[in-house]
Amino acid sequence: MLVSPVVLHLASFAMSVSAVFLPYPFGDHLSLPGGHVDLGENVRQAAVRELAEETAVPVDLGDLTLVGVYDAPGRDPRGPYRTTAYLLTLQSAPEPTAADDARTARWVPISELPEVALAFDHRAILDQALTER
C-alpha cells in the first residue's frame, strides 16, 4: 500500500501544491510525495514519514485530512498498488528539501497545474483534494 500527502499552501489568495519528481517509471512527470507503508506503521504515520523524508515539510498526524483511497486497476504500471491520500493545508510554505528517493521538491502554483504532466492518477487525487478543501 502507498500513501500520498497532498500539501496545499494558502497565502495571499494564491495556492500552491507541493510536488516532487518521482524516478522510474515517470521520470519526467511530477508526483505527489509518498511511498510505501512500513511494517508496524499505519497509513497516516506513513504519510507523515514520507512527507518528511521526501520534502522535509514537517506535519503532525492530526493535521492530515483523508482525501480518499485510489485503487483502480492499472493506475500504477509497477503493479496493483492502492494509495491512501491525505490533505495537509499550510498557512506558510516551508522550503521543501528533496531527500530519500525524491530528486527534487518544489511548490507548483495551482494555476500552472493544467500544463504540468503528473504521474499515475495524481491529477485525480489533486482534483479531489482541491474540491474538498
Question: pLDDT tens digits, residue range 38-83?
Answer: 999 999 999 999 888 888 888 899 999 899 999 999 888 888 888 9
Stated pTM of the model: 0.84
Confidence of residue 105 (pLDDT cuts 50, 70, 90): confident
Rounded Cα gap, residues 54 and 20, in angstroms: 8
Rounded Cα gap, residues 39 and 111, in angstroms: 38
**Helix/strand/coil for 111:** helix
Which pairing describes strands 65-70 and 35-36: parallel, antiparallel, or unpaired? unpaired
Q: Which H/E stretch holds residue 54?
A: helix 43-55
State the pLDDT at residue 5.
63
Please report, rounded to a whole number, the percentage of residues in the chain having pLDDT higher than 90: 17
Could you give the domains of the chain? 2-132 (3.90.79.10)
Let me know the angle formed at the C-alpha of 52 by 48 and 55, rounded to the nearest 5 degrees. 130
Length in residues, the chain: 133
State the pLDDT at residue 11.
45
Cβ contact 69:23 at 8 Å: no
What would the grid cell of residue 59 be?
506535519
